[in-house]
Structure 1
Amino acid sequence: MNRTPHTLLINPTITSRSSARFPLSLLHLSAALDRQGSSEILDGNIDRDLVNETLRRMEQGKFDAVGISVMGGPQMAPSIEVSQALRKHFPSVPIIWGGYFPTLYTDTALAAPYVDYAIRGQGEESLPELVAALGKPEHALANIGGLSWKSGDTIVHNPSRRISLGDTGLVLPYDKLGDPRRYLASTFLGRRTAAHQAAIGCRFRCTFCGVAAMFGGTTILPAATRLERELSYLKYELGADSIQFFDHNFFDREEDMIPLLEVMAKLELPWWCYARSDALLKLSESSWKLVRKSRLKMAYIGAESPSGQMLKEIRKGTRPDQTLQVAELCRRHGVVPELSFMVAPPQNTEDETAQTFEFIRELKRINPESEIIVYIYTPLPESSRHEKDRGKRASTPLLDLNGEPVVFPRTPEEWTQPQWVNYACHADAPWLSDKLRQHIRDFVTVLRCRFPTVQDLRSPPWAKRSLSAMAAWRYRHRRYDRPWELNLANRLVKLRMPQVSGL
């Protein structure tokens, strides 16, 4: 009698325990695996001794494979550590990497001796098919969409798989996380904020975006019945009082959004989501009425740049004037716009940065409640773009500060080096001078002290008011450089930085 496959799914540590949110990708994978087998979930954000806990689980139960969800940046080192431990102590168990990093850097992931398979993009169909094919002749792997694998010394990339949003009629297996209520966090949205993802993908093709690279300009929205079932479980069974949507872009075409907004208006759970300025500007007044009733509190909007030319080059599809308009629109409807910008691009680095700083000041004049997130522009290498977009338009080679071509890491270990962790986190780039790097940090310090984020629940109100007053003269007179007094005060107050910690 054949035994059904048993899979261990691992989310390597990336946050503090207090910042842990539902590992949604693993919950979806677990639900898919359990149709023809069984699975367990190990979340390194909760189980802090990840390697020893992994080895303990492996010793207790017979697993046919281990799937590891891997992001770039700070999650690389724990991903490598747990993979190496598995290879050392359980050398015959296949190790499968999936998620953002192996999708964008597939050959780099498979260059590691501790990675046997990589799943590109969505894994709910590919992973169960792979687990079922393990131990069978090699040709059984050939028809698994989205799979990359090693055949001797050769890496084989199977054709990509179309994304889908299947619905079993059930909620996700939250019980596999132990007590799922420990993932409900106190945020500015509510005392018990739950993370949730309704739609997947994004129909836009921004050249810098990992979502576009993973999904190739495709998005799928859920049925309203599914959204209501899932959110009702979070609200009535787990006690969630607010929702942070991890959708790659929540607002899409208005006619498709109305049924979803009606569900949100019915449940009245304060919420946060990603959005686009053009989508919000196209909403009718009746849809905005639903938005207000649903209690949307904040929308994260990728403004990116005040340069129309740059927005065109990165295929953003929006205009600078729309960013200004959406700041005013959100003000009228009581929604806080959280606007992100990418400064210091490889070309016109200093001029683009200076223009962005002035544009941010204009936004704050239009809507002082606007939240501003500043990142360094760190584009994806050509090889990481979606296959539909590679080579379509000539891209200017990336050069470092010395005019030499930027060479991206070729192994997972190289991606753990500080400069590449910072690159993956949009915190630094090889073409930045020390002077500009410091100038950006100083501007951000003055800005966040002058306008402390509403998301900061830890710092006492008197401290935030004091820092705002201290920073007022610098902000008014554009005296950003060397804000020593603000840096000193920040050591005591430690204002929250949304670009680092999110909600």
Structure 2
Amino acid sequence: MNKIILFNPKSANWKHRIPNSILQIGASIHNKYDYVFVDGNLETDCWNKIKKYLDTNDYKYFAVTVMPGMQLRQAIPFSKKVREIFPSVKIIWGGYFASNQYKVCLESGFVDFIINGPGDEAFPQLIDALEKNADYSSINNLIYRKENQIIKTHKSDLFDQDTLPPLPYDYLNQFYPIEKYLGKTFLGKRTGAYHSSVGCPFTCSFCAVVPIYQARWKGKSARNIFNDLIYLKEKFKIDAVEFHDNNFFVSEKRTVEFAELVKNEKINWWGEGRIDTIDKYKDDSLKIMKEAGCKMIFFGAETGNDDILKQMDKGGTQSREQIISFAKRLRKFNIIPEYSFVLGLPAESERKVYQQINDDINFIKEIKKVNPETEIIIYVYSPVPTEGSELYEQVTKAGFKFPSNLEEWLSPSWENFDLRKNPLTPWLKPYIIDRIKNFETVLNGYFPTVSDYKLNSFQRKVIKFFSGWRYKTGFYYFPYEIKFLQRFWLKYRQPEIEGFYAE
């Protein structure tokens, strides 16, 4: 029986986390097919490792999880090499880059199949069909080429997460010691990563997972989440966890039940949620969450402009007033709100875009007044292919186009695009981008993030001192002295949310 390589391309230069995406696929075939893990984050010569497996002629499937940004540096050239050197090997891509950019992936000539969303059933069924040389057109969640036509099969319902097989942590441990994934963070000394749910029940027009999950969400039960974390605690000594769900807090009942279960286990945790969802939580729920180790929650605040929130299809009831009041409310419970903002959406004029950005800068400063502990993460707007949305139509009319060639994504500008750093959008001029980035530098100097535990109190005070006059006067131009201090001391990093790019 032919074997399978499950490849996780390098996704970060630091803060390596348990590769849940390939673990999930591994779980789906664990008792049926022979497979190996290759993690680009922990390999010194990743291509050589892959080639050694393929040289045996035992491995006929090369399966790659592909997120935007850094993972493309290995996913694209390695897949191309596999096709050139081992043409009989089937190359299968998953992850939301592959699902959202399926046309350019399949037209590359070196991607045979795309798993469009969860692969818990699609992946093993596809391998079954290929092994038997059988028809695969009726398998859900597939995208592939047939002659000159791209075929997208039916999207399956999301699976009951409690019925899925356990992740093969012990098997991964044979390839890469789990402790290498348990980094020190502000949460704890051995921080793990975990997915408790898939999808999100909302339809924000700037979110890359919306086309994949189509406003659907399924979560594990609180009891099963707890059991998994206790296993990781007892087996691998974790003392903290980041929930890399797209939306961990959909159900107040599930969240509270989990908090009640875990409150005596001394496990700190972080997750991603929505302001208008958690603002409906009772005070007692927030209190037990804090007691149970919830230290910080990531929220998409996005903007202080109510009209733009509607333009974003932000759903629910989120508003400028609520964003501020909720930050103030969380302060009472000592839970840090981590607010992300998406600046630079298109407008009717360049002047209007600049004004909207200045308005949001002032809004961020208002939030800092009511709750100085609020962490702020700033992204420059990057379009996602949410075809049919009003925002995406506006973006394309403004002249924005995605690359027509897969290898074009390897250029530095397009890599930064999907990291929301350099949007390549026609309406954002260099001086506007500079305005955003310079404010971000000053903001993170005046309010050093708690997430960067490497900065000591003296270093924080010095950076805050040099940033203070800029922050108070609104003079953000050329903040070279702040950048120097940030780079000089321990290669200080701006705060960034990994969960936003979760598998």
Shift of 1:265: 2.2
Is the CA contact 1:77–1:413 (under 8 Å) kept in the aligned structure 2? Answer: no
Which residue, out of 478, 483, 496, partners 1:482? 478
Give the Cα–Cα distance (whole angstroms) in 2 for the partners of residues 249 and 404 of structure 1: 31
Shift of the 104–391 alpha-carbon distance from structure 1 to 2, 3 Å rule, reads same
Q: How does 1:50-449 map to 2 (within 5 A)?
A: 50-60=46-56, 62-137=58-133, 140-167=135-162, 171-177=166-172, 178-317=176-315, 318-347=318-347, 348-381=352-385, 385=386, 390-391=387-388, 393=390, 395-398=392-395, 405-429=399-423, 430=425, 431-449=427-445
Q: Secondary structure at the match of 1:189?
A: coil
**d(CA) in 2 for partners of 1:362 and 1:394?**
27
Supply the distance in 2 between the matched residues of 1:196 and 1:447 (Cα, whole angstroms): 30
Decide whether the 8 Å contact of 1:64 with 1:131 is kept in 2: no
- Per-residue displacement from partner, 1:154-192 (whole Å, max 9, x unpaired)? 222212222214445864111233311211010000000
TM-score normalised according to structure 2 size? 0.93
Q: Is the 8 A contact 1:7 1:66 kept in 2?
A: yes
Aligned residues of 2:195 and 2:244 also touching (Cα < 8 A) = yes
Deviates more, 1:157-166 or 1:447-456: 157-166
Structure 1 residue 266, shift from structure 2 partner: 4.3
Counting matched residue pairs gives 488
Query: Counterpart of 1:296 in structure 2: which amino acid?
Result: C
Displacement after TM superposition at 1:283 (Å): 1.0
Q: Check conservation: 2:222, 2:255, Cα contact below 8 A.
A: no
- Amino acid in the other structure paired with 2:237: G
1:33 equivalent in structure 2: 29
**Which segments of structure 1 move beyond 6 Å, counting only runs of 4 or more?**
500-503
Give the 3 Å change call, closer, same or farther, for CA 200–238 of structure 1 in structure 2: same
Structure-2 separation of matches of 1:137 and 1:37: 16
- Where 1:363 maps in the other structure, the secondary structure is helix
Shift in alpha-carbon separation, 1:392–1:209, aligned structure 2, 3 A: closer
Change (3 A) 1:35 1:257: same
In structure 1, what is the Cα distance between the partners aligned to 2:24 and 2:202? 24
CA RMSD between the two structures: 2.0
Letter in 2 for 1:153: N
Matched AA of 2:146: S
Matching residue's letter, 2:259: L
- Percent identical residues: 31
Superposed displacement of residue 455, structure 1: 1.1
CA shift in 2, pair 1:305/1:34, >3 Å: same
Aligned to 2:5: 8
Instruction: Output the CA distance in 2 between the equivalents of 1:46 and 1:155.
Output: 35
- 8 Å Cα contact 1:76-1:412 kept in structure 2: no
Deviation at 1:133, TM superposition (A): 0.6
Q: Which residue of 2 aligns with 1:467?
A: 463
Secondary structure, aligned partner of 1:217:
coil
Structure 2 SS opposite 1:374? strand
Counterpart Cα distance in 2 of 1:214 and 1:395: 16
Which SS does the other structure have where 1:88 is aligned? helix
8 A contact 2:486–2:493 mirrored in 1: no
Q: How high is the TM-score relative to the length of structure 1?
A: 0.93
Relative distance call for 1:484 and 1:137 in structure 2 (3 A) is: closer
Q: Which ranges in structure 2 are unaligned for 5 or more consecutive residues?
A: none
Question: Is contact 2:162-2:221 (8 Å) kept?
Answer: no
